[in-house]
Amino acid sequence: MSEALIARVREAMTSVLDPEIRRPITDLDMVRDVVVLGEGDDGAAVQVTIALTTSGCPLRETITRDVTNASDAVEGVARTEVSMTVMTDEERTALRTKLRGGMAEPVIPFAQPDNLTKVYAVASGKGGVGKSTVTANLAAAMAAEGLKVGVVDADVYGFSLPRMLGVELPPTKVDDMILPPVAGDVKVISIGMFTEPGRAVVWRGPMLHRALQQFLADVFWGDLDVLLLDLPPGTGDIAISVAQLLPDAELLVVTTPQLAAAEVAERAGAMAQATKQRVAGVIENMSWMVQQDGSRLEVFGSGGGQRVAEQLSETLGAEVPLLGQVPLEVALREGGDSGAPLVTSDDDSEAATVLRDVARTLGTRQRGLAGRKLSISPVG
């Protein structure tokens, strides 16, 4: 009777996901032991021992709750007691190797030939055009569509995505591996998670490159459908490093309708010609403000996004579409400040609708075949 009950409880543990890694705790060898403490008329009391990756795991209460709920739902269990311990050094090493697909040393998974993750680097010519707002809402909208999404806040000097996406917990370290916090089903990493509040980041090129490399290789991202990188404005060190580390990444260029912003955005997009990257499209932000009478007030002028798309199409010799025009709305700004992106609300405003449509377009695009292994062989 006890052995059968233990087997059922262990089977129930397969439904419990690690909140950070998003894989069953049984796959991660976190279920150390299951024992029956005693049996009564109403069922048995069982104890489930869980081995955490680190003693300071910030989500131990979440794991305790999920394990308890899963075990209590098993027929014959009256009460569950969850005991916590910590993995040994050998167990953590085995876990890191398993998560890295059998490789002991970190590699950038998105740069491998068989990688299927769509990688978009969100760029702009200048600051203040809403690039981070667009990134946060695209990530949240894609996750709401059921995609597995990761975000790298690569704007090292002006990081803002942890706030915009509502990240509340710090990353967890498993020796030299970093588990990114999850907010709204989006995995997020940012230099802001490793700096003291109010402290400026004063780094030059080599340190920026190394930081980006660590975000891509040392962070365990799991199997992502889409990875978004929020780049700093312009064509500086980070943009060059992205082209080197992620040669298959496609650029999303964000601009406002203003002519001055559009001209600078064209230069940011034209960088793809030198780096041999593809530009997936242009997003025009702050296109207009809808007045109470329904009319549109074009605060920053008009036509900038279309101009950038047309100029880049001509420069690159390939079609660069204008993916969407996002109106200027107070609710969009409020969502960024509160950590609740507008697209995750029930708001059916024009801005939310446009951003959801762009996210759906990017999320369903087929990845190109460049650099990928094809399952074909010569016949002869």
pLDDT at 20 over 90: no
Q: What 3-state DSSP class applies to 177? A: strand
Model confidence, pTM: 0.78
Residues 6+ apart with CB under 8 A from 296: 288, 289, 290
Please tell me whether residue 112 adopts helix, strand or coil conformation: coil
Is residue 320 within 8 Å of 351, Cβ to Cβ? no
**pLDDT at site 58:** 75
- 329 pLDDT above the threshold of 90: yes
Q: For the chain, what is the largest distance between any 2 Cα atoms, rounded to a whole number of angstroms?
A: 78
Q: Which residues of 340-369 are buried (b: 16+ CB within 10 A; e: fewer)?
A: bbbbbeeeebebbebbbebbeebbeeeeee
- pLDDT-derived band at 202, boundaries 50, 70, 90: low
Q: pLDDT confidence of 380, banded at 50, 70, 90? A: very low
pLDDT for the residue numbered 233: 84
Of 344 and 126, the structure prediction assigns the larger pLDDT to 344
**Pair 187, 108: CB distance under 8 Å:** no
* pLDDT at residue 266 in the model: 84
The neighbour count for residue 13, using CB atoms within 10 Å, is: 20
pLDDT at residue 200 in the model: 60
Task: Dihedral sign for Cα 96, 99, 100, 103, please.
Answer: positive
Pick the closest to residue 366 from 129, 118, 94, 177 (CA basis).
118
Mean pLDDT of the chain: 86
Give the DSSP H/E element, type plus range, for residue 42.
none
Write down the pLDDT at residue 367: 56
Enumerate residues 6+ apart whose C-beta is below 8 A from 108: 213, 216, 217, 245, 246
Residues 6-17: tens digit of each pLDDT: 999 999 999 999
Domains of the chain: 2-99 (3.30.300.130), 110-364 (3.40.50.300)
Q: What is the pLDDT of residue 371?
A: 46
Average pLDDT over every residue of 329-336: 92
Percent of the chain topping pLDDT 90: 47
- Give the mean model confidence (pLDDT) for residues 343-365: 90
Reported as a single tens digit per residue, the pLDDT across 219-266 is 989 889 999 999 988 777 788 888 888 989 999 999 999 988 888 888
H-helix or E-strand spanning residue 82: strand 77-86
Give 107's pLDDT tier (boundaries 50, 70, 90). Answer: confident
Q: In this predicted model, what pLDDT tens digit does every residue of 259-290 receive, in sequence order?
A: 888 888 888 777 788 788 899 999 999 999 98
